[in-house]
Structure 1
Amino acid sequence: MTENRNLKALGMIVVYATIIGFTDNFVKVIADQAGLWQFHATRTVMAVALLWAVARPLGLRLGMVVPRMVVARSFIHGCAMVIYFGALGFLPVALVAAGLFTAPIFVLLIERLFYGAPISALGALAVALGFAGVVMVLGPEAFAGASLPALLPVIAGALYAMGNIATRRWCPQESAETLLAGFFIALGIAGAIGMVVLSLHPLIVPAGPEGFLLRGPVVPTGAFWFWTFVQAAGSLLGVGLMVRAYQIAEASRVSVMEYVILPASAAWTWVLWGEGLSPLAVAGMALIVAAGVLISVTKRA
């Protein structure tokens, strides 16, 4: 029975990674048109509206069983994503991604320290393989020039791990759609606050994607509306599957399965933009896939 849940969770994560890998490739198009905060606020309005529209026909349950736990989880996950996207404003993408994908290590450590969960040798090996694969995919430049600001993506990784553990430990009775709505609302609130602050205190903003973090509200273009809607719809489905995966399987397993998003994103980058991969990156992807398979078929990590 446990094996079936693990395989189901793995399938959900693969679909999630395929969807998110596609939609995230167009964030650079959005960044050229508007700011991070306007993007988060607009995407939340679209995603919540879509979720509300399909809730009744699909029989979805949006009510909260334990509101304080849902709010706490949404706040933690929201902070992780705000820090992650914020760090993209002044750090290389490779460094930020490498920091966020320390999350599986934090999952194992947090569950061991606070919940007494054992760490098996195979579980530790899977995490090591997955992280080594991440480093190989991103390349040596991922850790070049490490400094205090470089710790921000690692902090995001720790918060992301806490939110993933909270999904199963704090919110086992909540529906996936309830947690999904909480996730988007938290990001939407952060986006609205950012828009207000930058409206009252506008900054000098570089043109193009370099101004993504600092740009206040602007008049949206057609490209912004279209790709933000694609992001909203894709994220709604993808993140919903990810949340459900964390509900049916152990967080330590699912967090390692999430490594599959890297090869998925890289594959879409090649298909959409024609950007190839080095042999080192391909070898890293093989390790990432091996880690996901290993963690899904072994006993509890």
Structure 2
Amino acid sequence: MIRGNHTVQAAAAICGYAVLIGFTDNYVRVIASEIGLWQFHLMRSLMVAGLLVIAAPLLGLRLRPVNLRGVVARSAVHGSAMLCYFAALGFLPVPQVAAGLFTAPIFVLLISRFAYGERIGPFRILAVAVGFAGILLILGPESARLGPAAIVPVIAGALYAMGNIATRRWCPGEGAVTLTAGFFAALGIFGAIGLALTSALPLEVPPGAAGFLLRGATWASLPVTFWVFVQAAGSLVGVGLMVRGYQLAEPSRVAVFEYVVLPAAALWGWTLWGEMPVAREWLGMALIWVAGMLIVMRGR
């Protein structure tokens, strides 16, 4: 178990995670045009399992959990959060879904305070408020028009916060590799269940990315298979960094750094697809960095 709060190291780990995930998630649009959500999760988890089987003996990685019950519970919670997030993409615009998911730091603060009795200082409360203001600027006016359907991504945010707290509370003696493997195992199981259900209950599937949620098993082309593998490798390293970050410091300190995911994704979108952020979005990114620096300085 890592004692104390190593805030700077945790911030570096989370920023590395954000850069990797920002890159790989920009290619979900390519994957979604051909295969479904459930097949994507199952394929990616199987690829991650193959990579871990190869890497574990070579690098001396420990996969066996110390507390199996804690790892299973954490994996189920984090996996459920990602299922809610991707499911919401099937019927809500991406900005609304992202706004719901990034309520997670707020839930981290609330759960840490009221469930575990942690003292939350004014600097961390201010940092979360500043970071959330930055998120709203990036998402734009659309984020203020959330209807009743917004409950699904908000549930994703709450589950994501619970999973982040569980990383330190339920699994203090686990290695980052063990927790990462458990996370992808849960998503693989969910993917297999989803494929079984879509096969047993075939539905009319819209073409292209619109059918991402309802599409059953299909034959993936070589380019899509390649990008699923890139997702697997990038996510394996990225999620490992994220897990490590939450082991290095209290979840309420680390959570604010995850705001970096959105500007990282926006910068990759500009680099890969020529989608240039507008001035309002750049201002939002600046606020996010201010929030991160407040946490770093307070951590020192």
TM-score clears 0.5: yes
2-structure distance, mates of 1:180, 1:162: 16
Superposed displacement of residue 4, structure 1 = 7.8
Q: Which residue of 1 aligns with 2:61?
A: 60
Q: Which runs of 4+ in 1 moved over 6 A?
A: 1-4
Match of 1:116 in 2: 117
- Paired with 1:255 and 1:206, the residues of 2 have a C-alpha distance of 36
8 Å contact 2:13–2:242 — kept in the other structure?
yes
Deviates more, 1:86-95 or 1:52-61: 52-61
Structure 1 unaligned blocks of 5 or more: none
User: What letter corresponds to residue 104 of structure 1 in structure 2?
Assistant: P
Gaps of 5+ in 2: none
Contact in 1 for aligned 2:5/2:299 (Cα 8 Å): no
1:146-295 map, 5 Å: 146-295=146-295
2:100/2:154 contact within 8 Å kept: yes
- TM-score, normalisation: structure 2: 0.97
1:31 Cα deviation after fit: 0.2
Q: Is the 8 A contact 1:195 1:217 kept in 2?
A: yes
Contact 2:7 2:299 survives alignment (8 Å): no
Q: Distance in 2 between matches of 1:142 and 1:215?
A: 28
Q: Distance in 2 between matches of 1:299 and 1:5?
A: 8
Residue of structure 2 in register with 1:297 after alignment: 297
Report if the CA contact (8 A) 2:134-2:283 is conserved.
yes
1:35 maps to which residue?
36
Shift of 1:49: 1.1
**Distance between the aligned counterparts of 1:121 and 1:9, measured in 2?**
20
Instruction: Give the letter aligned to residue 191 of structure 1.
Output: G
Separation (CA, whole Å) in 2 of partners of 1:45 and 1:3: 36
Q: In the comparison of the two structures, how many residue pairs are matched?
A: 299
| 1:76 corresponding residue in structure 2 | 77
Partners of 1:4 and 1:127 lie apart in 2 by 18
The residue type equivalent to 1:255 in the other structure is A
* Superposed CA offset, 1:125-145 (max 9, x none): 00000100000001011232x
- Percent sequence identity is 60
Q: Do the aligned partners of 1:77 and 1:159 also contact (CA within 8 Å) in 2?
A: yes
Residue 220 of structure 1: how far off its partner (Å)? 1.1
Taking the aligned partners of 1:58 and 1:296, their CA distance within structure 2 comes to 32
What is the aligned partner in structure 2 of residue 47 from structure 1? 48
* C-alpha distance in structure 2 between counterparts of 1:299 and 1:239, whole Å: 23
1:51, 1:101 → 2: CA distance?
A: 29
Q: Verify the 8 A CA contact 2:33 2:208 in the aligned structure 1.
A: yes
Pair 285,25 (structure 1): closer, same or farther in 2 beyond 3 Å: same
How far 1:297 sits from its partner (Å)?
2.2
The 1:189/1:255 distance shift into structure 2, 3 A limit, reads same
For 1:21, the equivalent position in structure 2 comes to 22
Deviation at 1:179, TM superposition (A): 0.3
Matched, 1:105 2:97: no
Q: CA deviation at 1:157?
A: 0.2
Q: Name the aligned partner's letter for residue 53 of structure 1.
A: I
CA RMSD of aligned residues (A): 1.4
> Quick check: 1:130–1:256 contact (8 Å CA) kept in 2?
yes
For 1:125, the equivalent position in structure 2 comes to: 126
1: CA distance between counterparts of 2:218 and 2:265?
29
TM-score if structure 1 supplies the norm length?
Answer: 0.97
Q: 1:124, 1:7 → 2: CA distance?
A: 18
Q: What letter matches 1:74 in structure 2?
A: S
The match for 1:86 is 87
- Contact 1:3–1:297 (Cα < 8 Å) also in 2: no
- Report how far residue 59 of structure 1 moved: 1.0
Q: Aligned-pair distance for 1:3? A: 9.1
- CA–CA distance in 2 between the matches of 1:153 and 1:181? 24
Deviation at residue 248 of structure 1 after TM alignment: 1.0
